[in-house]
């Protein structure tokens, strides 16, 4: 069955809706300025900067390492981090570490172990963070830390930038900086050896700066325009690996979506090999728009998370939709796809459930990809219509905004907009650059 080409250029709806939502975020940034924090171990100077509660873990009963909340304040010149604990925080050695993602992909780029009296541990990770440790500086002493009734950390961008390899420099501030950063704070104990005893909230924040930034990261080259449809998933999902990520999406417009807790963990307990412990496993995938099953695989077993045990090829359903577009939904649970090839599928119908088939050394997630049926199945950029987009997994994420159309970007959280938001159904093609242009104009015109 073939469809008539069904592409409309729905530019007015996305522009007006996105601009209003963007303005709310800019207003929040303005309300938090100026940031004037003294690194003295006292949290009283953090004002209204949002706090994120720790979702799990009590550091094995060590209240001095039991993280209860984390806040971050990325300014023009520094990254500030505040860690609060259940009792007076531990202060000897390196009890509190941070991982800091500021560059490229949503992998952390540096890991810092600040020491109040000696040198700080600093390691860095190349390729936007999506690699193993590529270097470090054991004699770096660029961080300020004060541990009093709370843990307060300042990472001066100038000192960090100077310590990094050339390929990572110039990304911490200024025009080349990404509009948001994310920090994962965690506590460590050393008896009997290095042990991460509590991972605190992983906190994403837009930069708290007076210089205007667009709120969406720049899409990789060639990502404009993208094809946007309703989300195939209910609830809030993390774009854990996006387009062109060298991990497994090199050269591809593909998106790995999974659920996380507040520490950005896909399961509880951490790295559990039990599929049922994963937050995404068994979640329902629905057809964004009506289509026809082009092809499928439904009989492959689920892999064991973080292992290749039981691993074979992935299950998938490949759905042909209007616009000569094929939508690939991969890694589904065996037997969960209720269709055969050539079956018609209605908009919103269940396509299968999120599983771990063919997902070597990873965890359950949905691999979502669009392919051009008229161009050798080349992958194409995808977006979503009518979604809430944020930087944190929590329902009350202060940085979330509702947008009519959004090109999928790694590191953001996305969920369908609540009922009541005007719908823009069907397949639309939008020009991301126009949306960004409007945001810039509003911002600079205030
Ligand atoms: Ca302070
Ligand atoms: Ca805790
Ligand atoms: Ca990164
Ligand atoms: Ca925790």
Query: Domain containing 436 — which CATH number?
Result: 2.70.70.10
429 and 6 in contact (C-beta within 8 Å)?
A: no
How large is the angle between the packed helices 432-445 and 12-32, nearest 10 degrees?
40
127 CA from centroid of ligand 3 (Å): 8
Q: Looking at the domain assignment, is residue 51 inside a domain? A: yes
Q: Please say if the pLDDT value at position 165 is more than 80.
A: yes
Tell me, yes or no, whether 302 and 391 share the same domain.
yes
Q: Please say if the pLDDT value at position 121 is more than 50.
A: yes
Q: With 0-12 CB in 10 A as exposed, 13-18 as middle and 19+ as buried, what is 160? A: buried
Q: Looking at the domain assignment, is residue 235 inside a domain? A: yes
Taking the CA of 43 as reference, the closest ligand is 1
Q: Looking at the domain assignment, is residue 211 inside a domain? A: no
Tell me, yes or no, whether 143 and 248 share the same domain.
no
Compute how many other C-beta atoms are within 10 angstroms of the C-beta atom of residue 24. 13
Q: Looking at the domain assignment, is residue 216 inside a domain? A: no
Give the pLDDT band of residue 21 (cuts 50, 70, 90): confident
The runs of H, that is alpha helices, within 277-391 are: none
Q: Please say if the pLDDT value at position 107 is more than 70.
A: yes
**Contact residues for 61 (Cβ-Cβ < 8 A; gap 6+):** none
Tell me, yes or no, whether 408 and 266 share the same domain.
yes
Q: Looking at the domain assignment, is residue 72 inside a domain? A: yes
Q: Please say if the pLDDT value at position 427 is more than 60.
A: no
DSSP assignment of 153-199 equals EEEEHHHHHHHS-GGGTT-SSSTTS-SEEEEEEEEEE-SSS-EEEEE
389 CA from centroid of ligand 3 (Å): 19
**The total number of structural domains that make up the chain:** 2
Tell me, yes or no, whether 414 and 321 share the same domain.
yes
52 and 262 in contact (C-beta within 8 Å)?
A: yes
Tell me, yes or no, whether 139 and 268 share the same domain.
no
Tell me, yes or no, whether 247 and 188 share the same domain.
no
So what's the pLDDT on residue 212? 77
- Locate 154 and state its tokens: 């300042």
Mean pLDDT on 421-445: 37
Tell me, yes or no, whether 324 and 383 share the same domain.
yes
75 CA from centroid of ligand 4 (Å): 26
Taking only the tens place, the pLDDT of each residue in 334-392 is 999 999 999 999 999 999 999 999 998 899 999 999 999 999 999 999 999 999 999 99
Compute how many other C-beta atoms are within 10 angstroms of the C-beta atom of residue 384. 26
Domain endpoint, select from 158, 178, 206: 206
Q: Please say if the pLDDT value at position 16 is more than 70.
A: no
434 CA from centroid of ligand 1 (Å): 41
Q: Looking at the domain assignment, is residue 1 inside a domain? A: no
Tell me, yes or no, whether 126 and 173 share the same domain.
yes
Taking only the tens place, the pLDDT of each residue in 169-188 is 999 999 889 999 999 999 99
Q: Looking at the domain assignment, is residue 338 inside a domain? A: yes
pTM (two decimals): 0.90
Most confident of the ranges 126-130, 155-159, 425-429, 440-444: 155-159
| Mean pLDDT across the chain | 89
Q: What percent of the chain has pLDDT over 70?
A: 89
Taking the CA of 60 as reference, the closest ligand is 2
Write out the residue range of the structural domain in which residue 413 sits: 12-26+221-445
- The residue count of the chain comes to 446
92 CA from centroid of ligand 1 (Å): 19
Q: Looking at the domain assignment, is residue 215 inside a domain? A: no
109 CA from centroid of ligand 1 (Å): 26
Give the pLDDT band of residue 310 (cuts 50, 70, 90): confident
Taking the CA of 185 as reference, the closest ligand is 4
- Locate 228 and state its tokens: 């946007």
């Amino acid at each position: 069955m073939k469809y008539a080409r069904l592409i409309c250029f729905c530019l007015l709806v996305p522009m007006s809706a996105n601009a209003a939502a963007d303005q709310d975020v800019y207003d929040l940034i303005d309300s938090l300025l100026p940031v004037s924090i003294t690194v003295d171990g006292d949290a009283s100077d953090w004002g209204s900067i949002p706090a994120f509660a720790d979702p799990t873990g009590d550091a094995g009963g060590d209240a001095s390492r039991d993280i209860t909340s984390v806040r971050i304040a990325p300014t023009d010149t520094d990254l500030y981090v505040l860690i609060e604990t259940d009792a007076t925080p531990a202060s000897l050695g390196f009890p509190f570490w941070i991982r800091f993602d500021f560059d490229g992909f949503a992998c952390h780029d540096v890991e810092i172990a600040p020491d109040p009296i000696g040198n700080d541990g600093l390691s860095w990770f190349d390729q936007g963070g999506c690699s193993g440790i590529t270097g470090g500086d054991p004699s770096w002493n660029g961080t300020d830390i004060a541990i009093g009734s709370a843990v307060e950390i300042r990472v001066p961008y100038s000192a960090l930038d100077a310590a990094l390899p050339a390929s990572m420099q110039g990304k911490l501030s200024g025009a080349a900086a990404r509009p948001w950063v994310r920090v994962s704070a965690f506590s460590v104990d050393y008896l009997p050896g290095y042990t991460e005893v509590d991972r605190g909230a992983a906190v994403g924040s837009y930069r708290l700066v007076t210089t205007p930034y667009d709120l969406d990261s720049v899409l990789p080259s060639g990502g404009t325009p993208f094809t946007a449809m309703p989300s195939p998933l209910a609830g809030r999902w993390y774009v854990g690996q996006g387009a062109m990520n060298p991990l497994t999406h090199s050269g591809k417009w593909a998106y790995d979506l999974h659920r996380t807790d507040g520490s950005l963990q896909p399961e509880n307990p951490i790295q559990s090999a039990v599929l049922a412990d994963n937050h995404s496993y068994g979640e329902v995938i629905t057809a964004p728009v009506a289509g026809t099953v082009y092809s499928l695989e439904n009989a492959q077993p689920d892999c064991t998370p973080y292992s290749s045990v039981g691993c074979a090829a992935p299950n998938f359903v490949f759905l042909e939709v209007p616009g000569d577009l094929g939508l690939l939904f991969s890694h589904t649970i065996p037997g969960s796809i209720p269709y055969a090839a050539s079956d018609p599928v209605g908009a919103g119908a269940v396509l299968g459930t999120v599983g771990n088939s063919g997902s070597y050394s990873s965890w359950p997630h949905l691999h979502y990809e669009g392919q051009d049926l008229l161009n050798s199945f080349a992958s194409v950029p995808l977006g979503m219509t009518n979604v809430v987009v944020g930087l944190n997994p929590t329902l009350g994420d202060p940085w979330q905004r509702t947008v009519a159309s959004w090109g999928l970007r790694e590191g953001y959280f996305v969920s369908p907009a609540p009922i009541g938001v005007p719908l823009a159904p069907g397949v639309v093609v939008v020009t991301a650059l126009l949306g960004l242009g409007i945001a810039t104009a509003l911002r600079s015109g205030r």
